[in-house]
Homo-oligomer: A and B are copies of this chain.
Amino acid sequence: MNTTYRVLIKSKDEKGLVYKISKLFSDMELNIISNSEFVDKAHSLFFMRSEVSGDAIEQKLLRDKLISLLPDGADIKIVDTSVRKRVVILVTKEIHCLGDILMRHVEDELNADIIEVIGNYDVLEDTVSKFSIPFTTISHENLNREQHSSLILQRLEKLDFDYIVLAKYMRILPPSFVSQHRDKIINIHHSFLPAFIGANPYKQAFDRGVKIIGATAHFVTDDLDEGPIIEQGVTHIDHTYGWRDMQRAGRDVEKIVLSKALKLVIEDRVFIYNNRTVIF
């Protein structure tokens, strides 16, 4: 039976890596469908993403062989493309990013399962239910940040998921939350990072009189809005835009940028290092 695997390698760079890795694929009778490499020379780091197909293999065997030929400390990820990723979405009240993902879900464009939506309000429950996706409301009322976050963590523990998408989830996740799901949380920031960090960036952008606004999808780290950037988009505006018009124009950018970023992540195209991303 023919299976397709994605093999992702991040390691110290050294001479002959492509040769060694492609030899291994050849030896294991895996055919390379696509291959992308990048070397960060400043840090002497090697990145490779290969799609290979062949008879179903023992992933452990492939991993062990890769470990033995790669420099010490290499990160190796082997993904069977027939296994669908599982995604949890966190929301507050705004529908545009969630709605965009839901519609792609209906079309099965993302090739992933949305297994649950969690909201700190129940405003979007009605819409989500229409798509036969479970919605859990975990209100933050009368709770401090840690208490609320730990309720969400408890709920997440019961779910088997690969990624958490913050689709306009308007609360800050505490370090305890972020550290438990490192490199798994994708956020859409309603601004063109690093501009206008913090509350109401559209009001800030209006005050600054900008002619372009944007949005940034990034992984969440402890540094608010400062995690590795996956995708960015912009749109032009002019002096006739009040900050609410900017917000509305921004929504179109936000939803497309978040969905693009999600797709890149689901297809295992994104490497994270030094608070940056390599995207194949």
A277 touches B95 (CB 8 A): no
Q: Is A7 an interface residue (CB 8 A)?
A: no
* A99 vs B259: C-alpha distance when bound (angstroms): 14
Min C-beta distance of A92 to chain B, whole Å: 14
B210 touches A228 (CB 8 A): no
Chain A residues touching B, majority SS: mixed
Number of copies: 4
B256 touches A232 (CB 8 A): no
* A23 vs B238: C-alpha distance when bound (angstroms): 29
Q: Which residues of B contact A232 (CB under 8 A)?
A: 210-212
Q: Which residues of B contact A95 (CB under 8 A)?
A: 103, 106-107
* A130 vs B103: C-alpha distance when bound (angstroms): 12
* Residue-wise interface mask of A (1-24) relative to B, using a CB-CB cutoff of 8 A (1 in contact, 0 not): 000000000000001101100110
A212 touches B211 (CB 8 A): no
Q: Which residues of B contact A140 (CB under 8 A)?
A: none
Min C-beta distance of A96 to chain B, whole Å: 6
Q: Is A236 an interface residue (CB 8 A)?
A: yes
11 interchain pairs, CB-CB under 8 A: A15-B32, A19-B26, A34-B39, A95-B103, A95-B106, A96-B104, A193-B210, A207-B275, A211-B232, A239-B279, A252-B260
